[in-house]
Amino acid sequence: MKSDLPKVLVPVAGRPMVEYVIDALEAAAIDRIVLVVGYRSDLVRETLAHRRVEFAEQAEQLGTGHAVMVAASALAGHDGAALVVTGDSPMIQISSIRKLLANYDDGHPACVLGTAFKDHPDGLGRIVRDGSGRFEGIVEQKDATPQQRAIREVNMSTYVFHAPDLLMALQKLGNNNAQREYYITDCPAILRKMGRDVRALPVLEPIEALSINTPEELQVVEQVILEGRRAQPEST
Protein backbone atom coordinates (compact mmCIF):
# COMPACT_ATOMS: atom_id res chain seq x y z
CA MET A 1 0.00 0.00 0.00
CA LYS A 2 3.11 2.26 0.09
CA SER A 3 2.20 3.60 3.53
CA ASP A 4 3.98 3.67 6.90
CA LEU A 5 0.62 3.25 8.61
CA PRO A 6 -0.53 -0.10 9.93
CA LYS A 7 -2.81 -1.45 7.24
CA VAL A 8 -5.91 -1.25 9.43
CA LEU A 9 -5.39 2.51 9.76
CA VAL A 10 -5.07 3.22 6.04
CA PRO A 11 -7.86 5.71 5.27
CA VAL A 12 -10.79 4.51 3.19
CA ALA A 13 -13.14 7.33 2.23
CA GLY A 14 -11.69 9.40 5.05
CA ARG A 15 -11.80 6.83 7.86
CA PRO A 16 -9.39 4.12 9.03
CA MET A 17 -10.53 0.92 7.35
CA VAL A 18 -10.81 -0.95 10.65
CA GLU A 19 -13.51 1.45 11.82
CA TYR A 20 -15.89 0.05 9.20
CA VAL A 21 -15.27 -3.41 10.62
CA ILE A 22 -15.94 -2.22 14.17
CA ASP A 23 -19.13 -0.50 13.00
CA ALA A 24 -20.41 -3.75 11.49
CA LEU A 25 -19.55 -5.80 14.57
CA GLU A 26 -21.31 -3.38 16.87
CA ALA A 27 -24.37 -3.27 14.62
CA ALA A 28 -24.48 -7.08 14.66
CA ALA A 29 -24.58 -6.94 18.48
CA ILE A 30 -21.10 -8.37 19.08
CA ASP A 31 -20.70 -7.50 22.74
CA ARG A 32 -16.92 -7.80 23.09
CA ILE A 33 -14.40 -6.81 20.42
CA VAL A 34 -10.72 -7.75 20.77
CA LEU A 35 -8.35 -6.29 18.18
CA VAL A 36 -4.95 -7.92 17.72
CA VAL A 37 -2.27 -5.29 17.17
CA GLY A 38 1.38 -5.51 16.24
CA TYR A 39 3.16 -3.04 13.96
CA ARG A 40 2.90 0.49 15.44
CA SER A 41 0.41 -0.80 17.99
CA ASP A 42 0.59 2.42 20.04
CA LEU A 43 -0.75 4.37 17.07
CA VAL A 44 -3.60 1.89 16.59
CA ARG A 45 -4.50 2.09 20.27
CA GLU A 46 -4.42 5.89 20.18
CA THR A 47 -6.50 6.12 17.00
CA LEU A 48 -9.17 3.79 18.35
CA ALA A 49 -9.19 5.06 21.93
CA HIS A 50 -12.74 6.35 21.43
CA ARG A 51 -14.05 2.95 20.33
CA ARG A 52 -15.32 0.09 22.51
CA VAL A 53 -12.39 -2.16 21.68
CA GLU A 54 -9.92 -4.23 23.71
CA PHE A 55 -6.42 -4.93 22.44
CA ALA A 56 -4.17 -8.00 22.35
CA GLU A 57 -0.51 -7.51 21.52
CA GLN A 58 1.14 -9.69 18.87
CA ALA A 59 4.81 -8.88 19.48
CA GLU A 60 5.94 -11.27 16.74
CA GLN A 61 3.91 -11.71 13.56
CA LEU A 62 3.85 -15.49 13.24
CA GLY A 63 0.71 -15.90 11.15
CA THR A 64 -3.05 -15.53 11.38
CA GLY A 65 -3.38 -18.47 13.75
CA HIS A 66 -0.79 -16.93 16.04
CA ALA A 67 -2.78 -13.68 16.00
CA VAL A 68 -5.79 -15.55 17.37
CA MET A 69 -3.57 -17.35 19.90
CA VAL A 70 -2.49 -14.05 21.49
CA ALA A 71 -6.17 -13.15 21.98
CA ALA A 72 -7.07 -16.59 23.38
CA SER A 73 -7.16 -15.40 26.98
CA ALA A 74 -10.23 -13.32 26.11
CA LEU A 75 -12.06 -16.58 25.36
CA ALA A 76 -11.28 -18.24 28.69
CA GLY A 77 -14.52 -19.47 30.22
CA HIS A 78 -16.60 -18.41 27.21
CA ASP A 79 -18.93 -21.18 26.06
CA GLY A 80 -20.47 -19.45 23.08
CA ALA A 81 -19.68 -18.07 19.65
CA ALA A 82 -16.35 -16.46 18.79
CA LEU A 83 -16.37 -14.47 15.56
CA VAL A 84 -12.99 -14.14 13.85
CA VAL A 85 -12.62 -11.55 11.08
CA THR A 86 -9.81 -9.45 9.66
CA GLY A 87 -9.33 -5.80 10.49
CA ASP A 88 -8.68 -4.91 6.86
CA SER A 89 -12.09 -5.95 5.52
CA PRO A 90 -14.09 -2.70 5.39
CA MET A 91 -16.69 -4.23 3.09
CA ILE A 92 -17.85 -6.72 5.73
CA GLN A 93 -21.64 -6.80 5.82
CA ILE A 94 -23.82 -6.74 8.92
CA SER A 95 -26.26 -9.14 7.28
CA SER A 96 -23.52 -11.69 6.63
CA ILE A 97 -22.39 -11.66 10.25
CA ARG A 98 -25.97 -12.18 11.39
CA LYS A 99 -26.44 -15.11 9.00
CA LEU A 100 -23.31 -16.83 10.27
CA LEU A 101 -24.34 -16.33 13.89
CA ALA A 102 -27.83 -17.62 13.14
CA ASN A 103 -26.33 -20.76 11.62
CA TYR A 104 -24.16 -21.20 14.71
CA ASP A 105 -27.25 -20.92 16.91
CA ASP A 106 -28.68 -23.88 14.99
CA GLY A 107 -26.82 -26.68 16.75
CA HIS A 108 -23.68 -24.85 17.89
CA PRO A 109 -21.24 -26.35 15.37
CA ALA A 110 -17.52 -26.20 16.08
CA CYS A 111 -17.01 -23.81 13.17
CA VAL A 112 -18.98 -21.99 10.50
CA LEU A 113 -16.91 -20.52 7.67
CA GLY A 114 -18.32 -17.66 5.68
CA THR A 115 -17.47 -18.18 2.03
CA ALA A 116 -18.01 -16.26 -1.18
CA PHE A 117 -17.99 -16.98 -4.89
CA LYS A 118 -15.51 -15.00 -6.93
CA ASP A 119 -15.12 -15.10 -10.70
CA HIS A 120 -11.39 -14.45 -10.47
CA PRO A 121 -10.25 -16.07 -7.20
CA ASP A 122 -6.53 -15.64 -7.78
CA GLY A 123 -4.57 -15.75 -4.54
CA LEU A 124 -7.44 -16.97 -2.39
CA GLY A 125 -7.88 -20.29 -0.62
CA ARG A 126 -10.41 -22.58 -2.30
CA ILE A 127 -13.19 -24.34 -0.40
CA VAL A 128 -13.00 -28.08 -1.02
CA ARG A 129 -16.16 -30.14 -0.49
CA ASP A 130 -16.83 -33.88 -0.68
CA GLY A 131 -19.29 -35.57 -3.00
CA SER A 132 -22.15 -34.71 -0.64
CA GLY A 133 -21.24 -31.04 -0.56
CA ARG A 134 -19.83 -31.11 2.96
CA PHE A 135 -16.78 -29.07 3.87
CA GLU A 136 -13.49 -30.92 3.60
CA GLY A 137 -10.87 -28.21 3.86
CA ILE A 138 -9.28 -25.03 2.56
CA VAL A 139 -6.59 -25.39 -0.08
CA GLU A 140 -4.34 -22.41 -0.69
CA GLN A 141 -3.78 -21.55 -4.35
CA LYS A 142 -0.09 -22.42 -4.27
CA ASP A 143 -0.97 -25.92 -3.05
CA ALA A 144 -4.03 -26.46 -5.26
CA THR A 145 -4.30 -28.86 -8.15
CA PRO A 146 -5.53 -27.50 -11.49
CA GLN A 147 -8.98 -28.91 -10.67
CA GLN A 148 -8.99 -27.19 -7.28
CA ARG A 149 -7.82 -23.92 -8.79
CA ALA A 150 -10.98 -23.94 -10.92
CA ILE A 151 -13.12 -23.76 -7.74
CA ARG A 152 -14.80 -20.38 -7.41
CA GLU A 153 -15.92 -20.73 -3.79
CA VAL A 154 -13.26 -19.07 -1.65
CA ASN A 155 -12.34 -18.51 1.94
CA MET A 156 -12.70 -14.89 3.04
CA SER A 157 -11.24 -15.21 6.57
CA THR A 158 -14.62 -14.87 8.24
CA TYR A 159 -15.38 -17.53 10.85
CA VAL A 160 -17.69 -18.27 13.75
CA PHE A 161 -16.18 -20.81 16.13
CA HIS A 162 -17.57 -22.45 19.22
CA ALA A 163 -15.06 -20.88 21.62
CA PRO A 164 -13.98 -24.10 23.45
CA ASP A 165 -13.46 -25.85 20.10
CA LEU A 166 -11.40 -22.93 18.81
CA LEU A 167 -9.15 -23.05 21.88
CA MET A 168 -8.71 -26.79 21.40
CA ALA A 169 -7.83 -26.37 17.70
CA LEU A 170 -5.31 -23.65 18.51
CA GLN A 171 -3.50 -26.04 20.83
CA LYS A 172 -3.12 -28.50 17.94
CA LEU A 173 -2.12 -25.88 15.39
CA GLY A 174 1.32 -26.39 13.89
CA ASN A 175 3.69 -24.33 11.78
CA ASN A 176 5.02 -27.06 9.51
CA ASN A 177 5.09 -24.92 6.39
CA ALA A 178 7.58 -22.93 4.35
CA GLN A 179 6.83 -19.71 6.25
CA ARG A 180 6.97 -21.43 9.70
CA GLU A 181 3.75 -19.64 10.58
CA TYR A 182 0.50 -20.66 12.26
CA TYR A 183 -2.57 -20.31 10.07
CA ILE A 184 -6.14 -19.95 11.32
CA THR A 185 -7.21 -21.56 8.03
CA ASP A 186 -5.94 -24.90 9.41
CA CYS A 187 -8.32 -24.84 12.39
CA PRO A 188 -11.51 -25.89 10.54
CA ALA A 189 -9.76 -28.95 9.07
CA ILE A 190 -8.33 -29.84 12.50
CA LEU A 191 -11.80 -29.76 13.99
CA ARG A 192 -13.29 -31.75 11.14
CA LYS A 193 -10.67 -34.48 11.58
CA MET A 194 -11.67 -34.64 15.24
CA GLY A 195 -15.23 -35.39 14.19
CA ARG A 196 -16.61 -31.96 15.02
CA ASP A 197 -19.36 -30.28 13.01
CA VAL A 198 -17.73 -27.85 10.58
CA ARG A 199 -19.81 -25.97 8.03
CA ALA A 200 -18.94 -23.77 5.07
CA LEU A 201 -21.73 -21.31 4.34
CA PRO A 202 -21.66 -19.32 1.07
CA VAL A 203 -23.48 -16.31 2.55
CA LEU A 204 -20.91 -13.60 1.96
CA GLU A 205 -21.93 -11.11 -0.68
CA PRO A 206 -19.81 -10.45 -3.78
CA ILE A 207 -19.01 -7.00 -2.43
CA GLU A 208 -17.25 -8.63 0.53
CA ALA A 209 -14.77 -10.25 -1.85
CA LEU A 210 -13.31 -6.83 -2.59
CA SER A 211 -9.83 -6.72 -1.09
CA ILE A 212 -7.43 -3.85 -0.45
CA ASN A 213 -3.85 -4.73 -1.26
CA THR A 214 -3.02 -2.08 -3.85
CA PRO A 215 -3.83 1.61 -4.35
CA GLU A 216 -6.03 0.58 -7.28
CA GLU A 217 -8.08 -1.77 -5.11
CA LEU A 218 -8.34 0.94 -2.46
CA GLN A 219 -9.80 3.29 -5.07
CA VAL A 220 -12.43 0.71 -6.04
CA VAL A 221 -13.51 0.15 -2.42
CA GLU A 222 -13.64 3.89 -1.75
CA GLN A 223 -15.90 4.36 -4.75
CA VAL A 224 -18.24 1.63 -3.49
CA ILE A 225 -18.43 3.26 -0.06
CA LEU A 226 -18.96 6.74 -1.46
CA GLU A 227 -21.78 5.44 -3.63
CA GLY A 228 -23.46 4.10 -0.51
CA ARG A 229 -23.34 0.45 -1.53
CA ARG A 230 -21.76 -0.67 1.72
CA ALA A 231 -24.21 -1.86 4.37
CA GLN A 232 -24.81 0.79 7.01
CA PRO A 233 -25.74 0.18 10.65
CA GLU A 234 -29.48 0.25 11.14
CA SER A 235 -30.89 3.19 12.96
CA THR A 236 -32.44 2.52 16.34
Q: Is residue 231 part of a domain?
A: no
Contact status, residue 55 vs residue 34, Cβ threshold 8 Å:
yes
Domain count of the chain?
1
CATH code for position 32: 3.90.550.10
Three-state DSSP class for residue 7: helix
Residue-wise pLDDT tens for the chain (236 aa)?
667 899 999 999 999 999 999 999 999 999 999 999 999 999 999 999 999 999 999 999 999 999 999 999 999 999 999 999 999 999 999 999 999 999 999 999 999 999 999 988 988 999 999 999 999 999 988 889 999 999 999 999 999 999 999 999 999 999 988 789 999 999 999 999 999 999 999 999 988 988 888 889 999 999 999 887 655 444 43
Domain span at residue 48? 7-226
Residue 213 belongs to some domain of the structure? yes
Q: Is 235 a member of any domain?
A: no
User: Quick check: is 39 in a domain?
Assistant: yes
- The pTM assigned to this predicted structure is 0.91
Is 236 inside any structural domain?
A: no
Query: Distance (Å, rounded) from C-alpha 125 to C-alpha 142?
Result: 9
Position 158 in a domain: yes
Structural contact between residues 188 and 65, judged by C-beta atoms closer than 8 angstroms: no
